[in-house]
């Protein structure tokens, strides 16, 4: 093979690689847009394509323009509380490190798919009407620092998997109908400030 042909193959391969990387990013971003649109929480913005979703209220993004923070606790200011179940699509926003849905009127269970958001450091679902038991998948969120589930209608036992959250600093479960004792595994949470 002549060296020049070899080099051009390399260049084509390199260009293809860049192109595919860029396409992947576009797909990932469009996917995020769909997830956010499906929630209908930003319907006042979503028709206005001049405002990028990273500029929508309650959304923060990283440098790559992936959504890293969702904070919708401001809806009560406009007395426009969000109700219904927590949209399951949310759990596809894998770069999220803060998810704050507090003080709305979410009903239904904590989706077990939540365990996919392994980057989460803050999860606040407090002051809603979330029922069912605390799913053991919560134990997969190894980077959690703050877990707030208080003032809901949660029942049943506290899963022992909570003991996997060894970085946790703050845990609030009060004002629910949890009827079990605190699992011994909680002793693994060395950083917890009780």
The SS3 assignment for 59 reads strand
110: which DSSP letter?
A: P
The SS3 assignment for 156 reads strand
The SS3 assignment for 129 reads strand
> What gap in Å lies between CA 147 and CA 135, rounded to an integer?
13
Measured from the CB atom, the residue of 103 and 161 that comes closer to ligand NAG is 103
Considering the complex, what minimum distance in angstroms separates the CB of residue 9 from ligand NAG? 31
Determine the length of the chain: 194
For tokens 């923060």, the residue is 60
Interface characters, 144-183, with ligand NAG (x: CB under 6 A): -----------xx----------------------x----
Interface characters, 9-48, with ligand NAG (x: CB under 6 A): ----------------------------------xx--x-
Considering the complex, what minimum distance in angstroms separates the CB of residue 7 from ligand NAG? 33
Query: Using CB under 6 A, which residues numbered 41 to 100 contact ligand NAG?
Result: 43-44, 47, 76, 81, 94-95
Measured from the CB atom, the residue of 37 and 188 that comes closer to ligand NAG is 37
Strands 59-61 and 67-71: antiparallel
Q: Which residues contact 126 (CB under 8 A, 6 or more apart)?
A: 102, 103, 148, 149, 150, 151, 152, 172
Task: Give yes or no for residue 111 binding ligand NAG (CB under 6 A).
Answer: no
Task: Give yes or no for residue 118 binding ligand NAG (CB under 6 A).
Answer: yes
Binding site for ligand NAG (CB under 6 A): 43-44, 47, 76, 81, 94-95, 103, 107-108, 118-119, 131-132, 155-156, 179
């Amino acid at each position: 093979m002549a060296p020049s042909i070899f080099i051009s193959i390399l260049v084509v391969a390199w260009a293809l690689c860049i192109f595919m990387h860029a396409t992947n990013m576009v797909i990932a971003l469009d996917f995020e847009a769909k997830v956010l649109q499906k929630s209908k929480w930003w319907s006042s913005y979503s028709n206005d394509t001049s405002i990028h979703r990273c500029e929508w209220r309650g959304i923060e993004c990283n440098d790559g323009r992936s959504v890293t923070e969702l904070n919708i606790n401001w809806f009560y200011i406009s007395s426009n509380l969000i109700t219904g179940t927590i949209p399951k699509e949310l759990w596809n926003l894998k770069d999220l490190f803060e998810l704050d849905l507090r003080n709305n009127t979410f009903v239904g269970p904590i989706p077990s798919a939540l365990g996919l958001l392994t980057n989460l450091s803050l999860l606040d679902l407090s002051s809603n009407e979330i029922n069912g038991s605390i799913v053991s998948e919560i134990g997969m969120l190894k980077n959690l620092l703050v877990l707030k589930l208080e003032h809901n209608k949660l029942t049943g036992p506290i899963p022992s998997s909570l003991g996997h959250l060894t970085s946790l600093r703050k845990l609030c479960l009060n004002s629910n109908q949890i009827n079990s004792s605190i699992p011994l595994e909680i002793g693994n949470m060395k950083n917890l400030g009780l």
